[in-house]
Each structure stands twice: as C-alpha cells, then as structure tokens.
Amino acid sequence: MKKGSFVSIADCSKEDILQLMEETARFEQNPNQDVLEGKVCATLFFEPSTRTRLSFETAVNRLGGRVIGFSDASTTSSSKGETLKDTIKMVSNYADVIIMRHYLEGAARYASEITDIPIINAGDGANQHPSQTMLDLYSIYKTQGRLSNLIITMVGDLKYGRTVHSLLNGMSHFNPTFHFVAPEELRLPDIYKQFLDTQGILYEEHTDFSPEVINKSDILYMTRVQRERFTDLMEYEKVKNSYILTNEMLDHSKPNLRVLHPLPRVNEIAYDVDDNPKAYYFEQAKNGLYARQAIICEVLNLSLRA
Ligand code: CP
C-alpha cells in the first residue's frame, strides 16, 4: 500500500489486503483498545452516509481517539465557496488523519496530494470505496472460509456502483469468476472489463437475473440503483425496479451462498430475505467497524503486531 493514505484498493497488493484482514480479525476479537489515545480524526462527509461515517467514528471512539468533522457540508464554509483544497489544508492543521467522502471522482486522491496527513477515502463519486471493499473481502472470507476461486454475482447498478468497482479490484488477486447482472443502461463500464481481461479473470454479463446464475453463485452481491447518480430522472425511473431478490429465489441456491449488499437498500432485496440464514448484509456492515479500525491504524502506522 502506498504509505500514508488509503485512497484506492488498487494501491494495495495482495499482501497488503491479507495483512489488513489479519488486523481486522484482531480488532474483531478486541475492538476496545487505547491505540488512538491523543489522536484526532476528522470525518469530512460531502455526501450522505450512515454506515461508513458512523462505523469510522465508532472505530475511533473505541480506540480511544477523538473525532471532529461534519456530515452536512452545507453547514461548512464550502457553502460560501471555500475550495476543497483550502478545506483540506485547514483541517490538516487540526487532525492527524482525514476520512473523507466526496461526490467527485478523484477527490480523495487530490486531497492526498495536497496534505501531509493521511487521507482515507470513504467514497469518491462512482469511483472507489476501498474501506467498503475491505469489509466486503473480510465478509466473503468469513462466510466462505477462503477468498480464492469463488463465483461472485454482482447485481444492479454496475455502472455507477463504486463498491462494485472497488470490489473487482480487491477480488482480482483471488481468481474469481464474475457474473454481472445489470440492465443495459447500468452495465459495467468497459474500463473495468478491460482490467479484468488484462488480469485473465473470467466474467459473463447478463440482463436476466435468472435462477441459473443465482444457483451457481457463492456470493450474491446486490446493489441499489443510485438515484443520486442520474442526471436524467426519467432514466432512473426506467431502471429503478430492475431486479428484486425474493426469498423463493434462493430456494435452490448453494448451501454456502451468502447475500451481500453494501447498503442502504431501497427495494432490491425483499424484507423476507432478511430472515434467511443466507442473508449476511447486516453482519457485513458490522464487520465494517473492525475493518475501519484496521485501516485507521495502518495509515497512522499504529497497527498492532503483538
Ligand atoms: N455502504 C455505504 O457506504 O453505506 P453509507 O452510504 O450509509 O455509508
């Protein structure tokens, strides 16, 4: 991993990922430690969030650090026209690490280039969501007992879904086979398919969310169609109900299948799936606390080795 910041999962080697997962497991064993005593962590959220912000802030609190920041940029001086550059420079005067979510692709990378303190990317537009990827990988490992040679089906908004784009990068070290289920309008962009081609990773694209695809999968990674990414709301209306997973659709799935979703969901997973033992999305979100503890300590060079 490029030392200092955590901007893209593509910056992480396989060894980096495995080491972070080991640290994540240690934090799951003991999430209450004082390793961040005296540290101030800033959470700058220019886009809405529930899980990412609150799990990062819980991570800091449980490790004895302190949190400053905002969850609504309209209450900050960016609403008066202050640039991102100036905001990052200012906050760097106050905090030891900045955890930021921004609607512009590349915003976290840009921030990392104008400050000496570590930047953690909590999501930048449709680009990357690397801390989500770490909790996704950890969840896949916990439920499957391995990361290698799995069949992963991704469903929904594969065009704008930053969790999808990050997870493709992260899983590329582990020889997956992907099935991509999306309406024509939300197909995976070519740049990601070209990446998979260069890595020799097999994938198939589908518009039909068929039993054949579900029943061969080890992981079903559902995603929300993101209204906020559409400039034309008529386009959103056309695709918003494309795929809805119901309990019966899992009847003939593999015993080890687990349903993941980065959340929030709207209607793409019916509520009766929640009680199915194959539903793992709430535990997945809980794993985010431990994964984010590991990431914060890694960028601050405070990883526990004992
Ligand atoms: N998965 C995720 O990023 O959720 P939030 O938008 O609630 O942070």
Those residues of the chain that have pLDDT short of 70 are 1-3, 303-306
Given CA atoms 236, 237, 242, 243 in this order, what sign does their dihedral have?
Answer: positive
Nearest to 151 by CA among 206, 210, 215: 215
- Nearest alpha carbon to residue 5 among 108, 79, 81: 108
Active site residue 51: yes
Give the pLDDT confidence of 137-167 residue by residue, as tens digits. Answer: 999 999 999 999 999 999 999 999 999 999 9
Residue to probe by mutation, ligand 1, list 52, 127, 139, 287, most atoms within 8 Å of CB: 52
Contacting residues for 289 by C-beta, under 8 A, at least 6 apart = 27, 31, 55, 58, 59, 62
CA distance 184 to 206: 9
Amino acid in position 182: A
pLDDT of residue 230: 77
193 exposed, middle or buried (CB, 10 Å; 0-12, 13-18, 19+)? Answer: middle
How far does the centroid of ligand 1 lie from the alpha carbon of residue 73, in Å?
A: 17
DSSP state of 188: P
Determine the distance separating the centroid of ligand 1 and the alpha carbon of 48, expressed in angstroms.
8
Q: Which atom of ligand 1 is nearest to the CA of 53?
A: 8
- Rg of the chain in Å (alpha carbons): 19
Of 24, 43, 52, 223, the catalytic one is: 52
> What is the pLDDT at residue 1?
59
What is the reported pLDDT for 131?
A: 98
175: tokens are: 């020889």
For residue 225, the model assigns a pLDDT of: 87
Pocket test for ligand 1, best of 47, 50, 261 (most atoms within 8 A of CB): 50
Q: With helix as H, strand as E and coil as C, how does 51-64 read?
A: HHHHHHHHHHHHCC
Distance of CA 55 to the CA centre of its chain: 12
| Residue 298 CB partners (closer than 8 Å, separation 6+) | 1, 6, 20, 23
SS percent in the chain: helix, strand, coil, step 5: 45, 15, 40
In the residue annotation, 261 being an active-site residue is answered as no
The 8-class DSSP code of residue 128 comes to: B
What pLDDT does residue 238 have?
77
Q: Confirm if 225 and 157 have CB atoms less than 8 A apart.
A: yes
CB contact at 8 A, 42 and 91: yes
Atom of ligand 1 nearest to the CA of 122: 3
Q: How far apart are CA 15 and CA 105, in angstroms?
A: 26
- Contact yes or no for 167/135 (Cβ under 8 A): no
How far from the centroid of its chain's Cα atoms is residue 83's Cα? 26
In this structure, are residues 95 and 299 in contact, taking their beta carbons and an 8 Å threshold? no
